[in-house]
Structure 1
């Protein structure tokens, strides 16, 4: 049940992202710039940058945009100074929500995030209030129909550092530690597999069931947050009704 719920959550988020392609490019560029500023512009030695660029390519971000974002991070081009912030809170029905942001104005961002939680029946919490419910995991998901030889993929994934390979709900989901993500993704790419989702995300330990009314409010909260330019990712543990 949890796997199905997680895949539905991923689909909701991916669908929202696909509908806002230009906005996604802006957010991807921010992450690339920050990654390059913190670890340099070399993809081989900067794992965070490599992950960000992989995600950008998976979202069909133009190469020029990627290169420009890297140059902003390394100081070759002028750029805003972004700060990373993670906000924690409770959505409708008391579900746990984590909001990852990159912002050049913390006061604006926290006011916007607090407003969203209040507007849709939740409340912004303190640091650590729900973070313990989530763990960072590399997550790679394929539609089951893309996997012709599951055993071969299973063995290759484990050899490349995967912690778990799940075959359920018409998808194959591969989980790994964050530091194993890039090598694992590259191994699977060499097998000719095109991932539907490939990123490091915050995965909840457990899911919390909510009714359809609360789910509708929860989706509005997610949509509102994801429409905010400062918000990079929204994670939650709501088990959305069918």
Structure 2
């Protein structure tokens, strides 16, 4: 059975496959070609993030606005045209509408926790719209919060450098671990024969990317993600409810990130 989940903060569409009898969200596969409507939604969310970065960072210059630099880097990897990026920046400087970011903490079925990141000019209105969707999916805003159950980390996926091609998995990890230390990353894992995933502290996110690039790692995608400290197993019925809930959220223009601690 396949369930679609748009992992917006990393700016790409993912397919999450759950095999019969399997209790985990697993086998995440990157979809390299986005349909036109998906790409339009992606660019809309990127544009919103750029607007928020400019308003919150107080500058439209990515050289002096780290958050804006991060979003622009993500936009370029998502093949957003340079002209479109420049137009968003120019229009934001003229527009007096204040875009703000906010993360809602939601308690879902089976006591799972869902973090929903939004970029909106009217957070109250967006909160009400999300509340309406929650009522239909056994969810509610968490009174005790939930962000403390996640670590906020930089997640950087790279292609395997030519220098590591043909080596054994153990050799690849040994060399990549040395590179991770050199680049000030916190950890590295081998995703498959062709790709590695580095994690970093959120504050050194851009620095790690630049260091990896200097070591000839081609960065496929990079994002700041909420990574669960502990995961919660759900029943098949609860997973089905969460899947439908995520679909509804991902179709909202204001929603730019969805995270959960589902095992």
* TM-score normalised by L of structure 1: 0.83
Provide the C-alpha distance between the structure 2 equivalents of 1:41 and 1:160, rounded to a whole number of angstroms. 28
Q: Name the counterpart of 2:60.
A: 41
| 1:133 equivalent among 142, 149, 160 | 149
Q: Name the counterpart of 2:69.
A: 50
Q: 1:194 to 1:79 in 2, by over 3 A?
A: farther
- 1:84·1:101 contact (CA, 8 Å) conserved in 2? yes
- 2:24·2:262 contact (CA, 8 Å) conserved in 1? no
Q: 1:29 to 1:116 in 2, by over 3 A?
A: same
SS of alignment partner, residue 208 of structure 1 = coil
Larger RCO of the pair (alpha carbons < 8 Å, separation 6+): 2
Q: Name the counterpart of 1:237.
A: 261
User: Which structure 1 segments of 5+ residues have no match?
Assistant: none
Q: Name the counterpart of 2:241.
A: 217
- 1:17·1:24 contact (CA, 8 Å) conserved in 2? no
Deviations 1:23-62 (A, max 9, x none): 1101101111221223212222211111111111111111
SS of alignment partner, residue 209 of structure 1 = coil
- 2:55·2:98 contact (CA, 8 Å) conserved in 1? no
Q: C-alpha root-mean-square deviation of aligned residues, in Å?
A: 2.8
Post-superposition offset of 1:165: 1.2
- 1:116·1:221 contact (CA, 8 Å) conserved in 2? yes
Q: 1:18 to 1:211 in 2, by over 3 A?
A: farther
Decide which structure has the larger Cα Rg and report it. 2
- 2:118·2:255 contact (CA, 8 Å) conserved in 1? yes
| 1:60 equivalent among 70, 79, 82 | 79
In terms of fraction of residues, the more helix-rich structure is 1
* TM-score normalised by L of structure 2: 0.77
